[in-house]
């Protein structure tokens, strides 16, 4: 019996929610703020990430919702019996943001390990945003990824049957 | 004793489906007769081209930005102001029979009053009004509900289940198993939302609505004043009228709509000159809203499918006209004919094949915005028959009911009493109508703001996930009645556009507060 | 193809996170603050809820984590092709709490409908907590459910294979 | 030239596995010899009974509540203070060879330095120290890592993969496919974490650690002073020593541990008198931590399984003793024998069958808390052989290294230099050792606080998801050396308990700041 677990990490970031979402809402920039992810390629709703250990993971982007400011992806390819990552930017109404990175996974151990990575990622995200500089913040400033222009809503379509 | 008000709405009915408006497919002698005796409006414009916001505007006399029902699925607060309550307080008996839709239908928790009422088996419930006074739900003493479907929690579905369970499955399933608007095709052409329905005509919702209306009226005292909103679910899809009636219109002989270009290249060129959401939906690249089957691609629509849909739509329109005739006869039998005001309209139109599209969406053109509207004032009021050409809004209905009842319009009403003729329009009506679209669907946002004025229709596409804020539409109604040519970028019309946009921005006023959340797709 | 969707609702509640968790962390009390849920029965990690429409749903409690203050459940029994509800109480550090109720579901439409219910539930939760009275708050005050004493960690075990 | 320091740790070794401590199963002549020439500690107590917190205490000289590694999986910050760096700054060459575990092993992102180093192929990396000065990682100029497994990112696994890939699968898989501690059984009895491993002894990690240590020492200059932490992964499970060595101990003839009651009823009665987490784990009702296979139920442990595990554990202990002998010989060959201080200890014990349990967890009894500790001062220092009975802590190691090197202990170190004899203990040592347990596992929290003092061991169970704050343990070591009788609730000992708890609370001091998050299970 494989157990599942859910691990949530959060950081309050001293920047407005729109600014935080500019980074979180760019799936192609994850490697610029997630320690241990060295590269990141997005094609349609498939993202391939390369870890510092050399491992590559294929992910399906499930949700990229600028209204809720919620980004979700799922690692595909059999490593997990269950996986769902959710990144939220929550407006606290005082020009600060609560960034929340959740991992649901089976095996449970992987939720814990990915949770650790997510915590480190939020630390780095907060560091860059509050300093208003850093690789991810600079990349956002350089303009959108060609594929992230106003677009149709393919992202939330996922075959589940 | 004052004037009685029969307010008749249909759902998603095009202007051109009525004989009095030039329609040649459906026969609508009853409404045509009312138009002949009363006032026919050539350009009645909704505040929104979807049900819940538009109906909320009728009831409150307010724009969507004020009543807050900014898209389908956002319930009108129970304590929103209600023109029905205004009438009730001056002694009117009040009822709404048929489709309400001030609250979402899809409601497994049974949270919304419309869905709770039939379960509770009571004609209404008390709740707190906008002014803190307790009264019946939205001012209606009697509520009896139906919608397009034989399923669900409302009175008609329960009545069918109790009395005629064998016919339930004959209706089209409006939602598929994923609770999305169903794309399944039927009839002779496989057109979406079409099904042959063996239900006897008497048990179909159009006649049920008339029957229930008549029953309520029959229970009133002879000297009661009353306001009755009779709200037919048709001719909104699904197009599944009783199959016994299909012979009324031979679909193969139905002419294609003027707004439909049979030539694909021409059709697509027209779409391409409009803001991008037009072509994206046509091609199946964009599903921005819940009002059409998400898995149906408009580009697949065939001419024959369109003919069949048009024919069935006309059948539904005829049934409504006949049902209305029965109600009017019943009213006459009560001796109320001379005191009776009848207003007939709809909440919004239907694309109906224009530009190769069906159903509705963020498309602010005549297909969805030019509505049937007829006001037949009480014969004893002495109002002369007329045609009003200038634009009026559904926002003007509530003040009109007040005027009929002889009470002042409430300060929260934004419209003005409908003009009784063209001169009255020029004198009293602002001459502009604002129509708003806002939608959110899983992160995809679309917003349109439209002004109808002086023979122009001008739409600004708000920045969102589809538009960048630079796009818009501009049509001159007299020389382009089908809105085939988008003149937004025409340099010769730049000052016209600037003036209309400035007026639009002015008219919208400040937006206050955040949007209320969407509770359900519909 | 059935689409999925993710709908998040949140409310800032002017009460400390421990107080908010006292309610959220009691799966047996949901009907006392979720409009449209009329009854709620918990046996082990199975919860059965009865809706105002008469419908009953069976749910599996996946996570009841007082450390993260996260509660998760999944509707079982085939109504959904995917379902995961997550309720979080997030400490904002100023004696206020952000309560977040997320629904992941396929069909997508159900995520929207359940999201609507969750929003109404958070409104009611905030109302009761800030008034310090109401059915759920009073039930918490009356003491724990017999089965919610210090217990072993069955909750996060779920067979996924 | 000063004294050289060889600091030898094993992992999860019981006090009673050494001959000098009365152990009769494994032969440990090398360590026994060091004990005979030096100081043997009868009650050396860790600050935590799991690896990462305990090892962090050794390196920093701080308690877990101060260094912040409050459970396995919480990394020691890279800029935590390091006693190795203190020695390096006064000229010592520094190395750590073997198992580090200041940072989590399970690290797919390669975020932690220990895992990065082997990939980078460099002996160390520079980083910022606790005082803002840059130096090699944690003060070590040379780092070469191994752990219990033939898999993973560390040097030993890479060395095997490169040089002897054919033996990798012979090792036990420490984690199962769910990355949980593996419960699979092997050997003759099916005991968990047991496997017959065909690896040749020379390629096993115990000898590899000795080989790499010798290589590093051989590369030093003759007049270098040095501090070498040689850290054997054994005898921590898995119990998969080279099968060629299994004949050293005939498992069927191994006596059952004194702490194991073969009578089930007696065993369970003892457990039932302890706080509830004992019996709950035994019965498989509670998995509170990551240190044992979650799917293994202790109640299923058979006497034969225990014999086989004990035998294999002893084989691993013998191999370590022999490997240490080889290193000491190499040091002697370099001419450093007279200047050499050797300290041998472990990070924590092993339940080893006591109370019917294996592995480790929140169980603060001698099985896990009474550690082997031998300090053989440099022969030329003139320290006389001794046995110290009073409790000392692993927190005392860092000041001891400082003392050996002739530098003052750093102000951030919490312990004192290890006493050289009983009188020195009475004079200088506070006489109490605090041991802390904290764990979080998916919402299940357990906390223990223990004081060892004056022949008592007293544990308070902190309120959490298992305990309500009322439970605890109290043992008198002289008349209950196996801690079979929990006297926490004995009214006759209430004042003793109160005094110990007060001292414990006093010693813990204020807790500052929040807990750092857990990054991985291990």
* CB contact (8 A) between residue D286 and residue C67: no
Residue B410 belongs to a domain:
yes
Measured in whole angstroms, the distance separating CA B137 from the mean position of its chain's CA atoms is: 21
Instruction: Identify the residue among A106, A108, A112 best suited for mutation to test binding to D, counting D beta carbons within 10 A and taking the highest.
Output: A112
Three-class secondary structure of residue B322 per DSSP: helix
Q: pLDDT per residue over D346-362, tens digit each? A: 999 999 999 999 999 99
Q: Which residue of A has its CA nearest to C11?
A: A92
Distance CA C59, CA C37 (A): 13
What pLDDT does B387 receive?
98
Q: pLDDT per residue over D284-307, tens digit each? A: 999 999 999 999 999 999 999 999
> What backbone phi and psi angles, to 5 degrees, belong to B427?
-70, -50
Which residues on chain A are in Cβ contact (under 8 Å) with D179? 107, 109-110, 113
Cβ atoms of B436 and B395 within 8 Å: the answer is: no
What pLDDT does C152 receive?
38
H-helix or E-strand spanning residue A90 = strand A82-91
Three-class secondary structure of residue D452 per DSSP: strand
Spatial CA neighbour of D23 closest among D455, D374, D372, D392: D372
> What backbone phi and psi angles, to 5 degrees, belong to B231?
-120, 95
Three-class secondary structure of residue A126 per DSSP: helix
Q: What is the largest CA-CA distance in chain D?
A: 64
* CB contact (8 A) between residue A72 and residue C5: no
Q: Which residue of A has its CA nearest to D290?
A: A109
Q: pLDDT per residue over C13-49, tens digit each? A: 999 999 999 999 999 999 999 999 999 999 999 999 9
Selected residues 102-141 of chain B with any CB under 8 Å from a CB in chain C: 104, 106-111, 115-116, 119
What pLDDT does C158 receive?
41
Asked if the A5-140 domain carries CATH number 3.20.20.100, the reply is no
| Confidence band of C146 (pLDDT split at 50, 70, 90) | low
Residue found under tokens 């499930």: A62
ipTM computed for the complex: 0.93
Q: Which residue of A has its CA nearest to C81?
A: A160
Q: What is the DSSP string of D252-313?
A: GGPPPPTT--SSHHHHHHHHHTS-HHHHHHHTTS----SSS-TT--GGG--HHHHHHHHHHH
Q: pLDDT per residue over B109-152, tens digit each? A: 999 999 999 899 999 999 999 999 999 999 999 999 999 999 99
Q: Which residue of A has its CA nearest to B277?
A: A152
Residue B184 belongs to a domain:
yes
* CB contact (8 A) between residue C81 and residue A106: no
Q: Select the residue of C70, C152, C156 nearest D280 (Cβ to Cβ).
A: C152
Three-class secondary structure of residue B414 per DSSP: coil
Instruction: Identify the residue among A152, A154, A161 best suited for mutation to test binding to B, counting B beta carbons within 10 A and taking the highest.
Output: A152
Q: What is the mean pLDDT of residues B386-403?
A: 98
Cβ atoms of C103 and C7 within 8 Å: the answer is: yes
Cβ atoms of D360 and D277 within 8 Å: the answer is: no
Pairing of strands C82-91, D373-376: unpaired
Q: Which residue of A has its CA nearest to C98?
A: A92
The number of distinct structural domains making up chain B is 1
Q: Poorest-confidence range of A96-110, B503-517, C145-159, D59-73? A: C145-159
Which residues on chain B are in Cβ contact (under 8 Å) with C80? none
Q: Which chains touch A (3 or more CB pairs under 8 A)?
A: B, C, D
Distance CA D475, CA D27 (A): 31
Question: What one-character DSSP code corresponds to residue B356?
Answer: G
| Confidence band of C79 (pLDDT split at 50, 70, 90) | confident
Three-state secondary structure along B116-171? HHHHHCCCCCEEECCCCCEEEHHHCCEEEECCCCCCCCCHHHHHHHHHCHHHHHHC
Residue D347 vs residues B111, D289, D449: alpha-carbon distances, Å: 60, 17, 18
> What backbone phi and psi angles, to 5 degrees, belong to B439?
-150, 150
Residue A90 vs residues A11, B257, B439: alpha-carbon distances, Å: 10, 49, 21
Q: Which residue of D has its CA nearest to A51?
A: D109
pTM, entire model:
0.93
> Any chain A CB within 8 A of the CB of B465?
yes
Tokens at residue D464, please? 């959490």
Q: How many CB pairs under 8 A join A and B?
A: 37
Which residues on chain A are in Cβ contact (under 8 Å) with C157? 1, 3
Residue D111 belongs to a domain:
yes
Q: How many CB pairs under 8 A join C and D?
A: 36
Percent of chain D with pLDDT over 90: 97
Q: pLDDT per residue over B310-351, tens digit each? A: 999 999 999 999 999 999 999 999 999 999 999 999 999 999
> Any chain C CB within 8 A of the CB of B152?
no
Distance CA B483, CA B270 (A): 9
* CB contact (8 A) between residue D443 and residue C151: no
> Is the pLDDT confidence value at D1 over 90?
no
* CB contact (8 A) between residue B443 and residue A152: no
Residue D443 belongs to a domain:
no
Three-class secondary structure of residue D114 per DSSP: helix
On the question of a cis peptide bond just before residue A25, with omega within 30 degrees of 0, the verdict is no
Distance CA D518, CA D24 (A): 40
* CB contact (8 A) between residue A150 and residue B444: no
What pLDDT does D86 receive?
98
Up-side HSE of residue B57: CA atoms within 13 Å toward CB? Answer: 31
What pLDDT does A78 receive?
79
> Is the pLDDT confidence value at A152 over 60?
no
Range of the domain at B55: 4-261+302-430
What pLDDT does B1 receive?
72
* CB contact (8 A) between residue D116 and residue A52: yes
Tokens at residue B184, please? 């399944």
Distance CA C98, CA A70 (A): 16
Pairing of strands B142-145, B93-98: parallel
The CATH number that applies at residue D178 is 3.40.720.10
Question: What one-character DSSP code corresponds to residue D247?
Answer: G
């Amino acid at each position: 019996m494989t157990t599942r677990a859910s691990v949530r990490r959060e950081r309050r970031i001293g920047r407005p929610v729109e600014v935080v979402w500019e980074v979180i809402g760019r799936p192609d920039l994850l490697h610029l703020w997630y320690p241990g992810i060295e590269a990141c390629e997005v094609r349609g709703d498939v993202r391939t990430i390369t870890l510092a250990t050399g491992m590559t993971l294929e992910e399906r982007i499930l949700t990229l919702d600028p209204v809720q400011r919620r980004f979700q992806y799922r690692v595909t390819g059999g490593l997990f019996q269950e996986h769902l990552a959710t990144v939220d930017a929550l407006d606290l109404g005082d020009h600060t943001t609560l960034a929340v990175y959740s991992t649901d996974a089976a095996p449970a151990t992987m939720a814990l390990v990915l949770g650790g990575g997510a915590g480190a990622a939020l630390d780095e995200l907060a560091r860059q945003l509050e300093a208003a500089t850093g690789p991810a913040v600079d990349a956002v400033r350089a303009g959108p990824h060609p594929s992230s222009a106003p677009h149709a809503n393919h992202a939330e379509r996922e075959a589940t049957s | 004793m004052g004037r009685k008000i029969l307010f008749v709405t249909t759902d998603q009915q095009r202007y051109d489906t009525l004989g009095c408006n030039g329609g040649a497919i459906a026969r609508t002698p009853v409404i045509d007769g009312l138009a002949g005796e009363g006032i026919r409006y050539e350009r009645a414009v909704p505040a929104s081209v979807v049900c819940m916001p538009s109906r909320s505007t009728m009831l409150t006399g307010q724009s969507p930005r004020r009543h807050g029902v900014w898209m389908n699925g956002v319930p009108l607060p129970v304590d929103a102001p209600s023109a029905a309550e205004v009438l009730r307080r001056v002694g009117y008996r009040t009822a709404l029979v048929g489709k309400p839709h001030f609250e979402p239908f899809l409601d497994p928790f049974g949270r919304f009053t419309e869905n709770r009422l039939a379960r509770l088996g009571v004609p209404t419930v008390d709740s707190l009004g906008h002014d803190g006074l307790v009264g019946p739900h939205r001012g209606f003493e009697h509520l009896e509900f139906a919608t397009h479907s034989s399923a669900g929690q409302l009175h008609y579905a329960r009545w069918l289940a109790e009395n005629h369970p064998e016919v339930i499955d004959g209706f089209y399933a409006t939602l598929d198993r994923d609770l999305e608007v169903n794309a399944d095709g039927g009839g002779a052409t496989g057109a979406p939302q079409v099904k042959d329905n063996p239900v006897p005509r008497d048990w179909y919702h159009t006649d049920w609505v008339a029957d229930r209306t008549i029953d309520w009226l029959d229970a009133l005292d002879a000297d009661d004043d009353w306001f009755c909103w009779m709200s037919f679910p048709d001719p909104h899809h699904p197009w599944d009228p009783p199959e016994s009636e299909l012979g009324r219109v031979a679909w193969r002989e139905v002419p294609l709509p003027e707004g439909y270009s049979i030539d694909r290249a021409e059709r697509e060129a027209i779409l391409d000159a409009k803001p991008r959401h037009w072509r994206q939906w046509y091609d199946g690249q964009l599903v921005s809203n819940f009002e059409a089957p998400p898995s149906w691609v408009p580009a697949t629509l065939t001419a024959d499918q369109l003919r069949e849909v048009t024919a069935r739509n006309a059948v539904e329109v005829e049934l409504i006209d006949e049902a209305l005739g029965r109600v009017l006869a019943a009213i006459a039998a009560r001796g109320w004919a001379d005191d009776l005001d009848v207003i007939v309209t709809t909440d919004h139109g239907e694309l109906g094949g224009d530009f190769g599209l069906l159903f509705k969406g963020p498309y602010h053109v005549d297909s969805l915005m030019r509505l049937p509207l007829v006001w037949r004032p009480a014969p004893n009021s002495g109002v002369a028959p007329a045609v009003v050409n200038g634009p009026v809004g559904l926002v003007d209905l509530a003040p009109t009911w007040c005027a009929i009842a002889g009470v002042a319009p409430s300060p929260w009403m934004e419209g003005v009493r409908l003009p009784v003729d063209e001169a009255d329009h020029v004198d009293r009506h602002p001459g502009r109508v604002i129509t708003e679209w806002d939608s959110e669907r899983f992160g995809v946002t679309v917003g349109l703001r439209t002004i109808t004025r002086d023979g122009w229709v001008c739409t600004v596409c708000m920045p969102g996930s589809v538009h960048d804020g630079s796009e818009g539409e501009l049509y001159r109604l007299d020389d382009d009645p089908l809105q085939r040519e988008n003149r937004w970028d025409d340099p010769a019309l730049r000052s016209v556009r600037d003036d209309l946009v400035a007026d639009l921005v002015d008219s919208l006023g400040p937006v206050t507060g955040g949007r209320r959340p969407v509770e359900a797709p519909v």
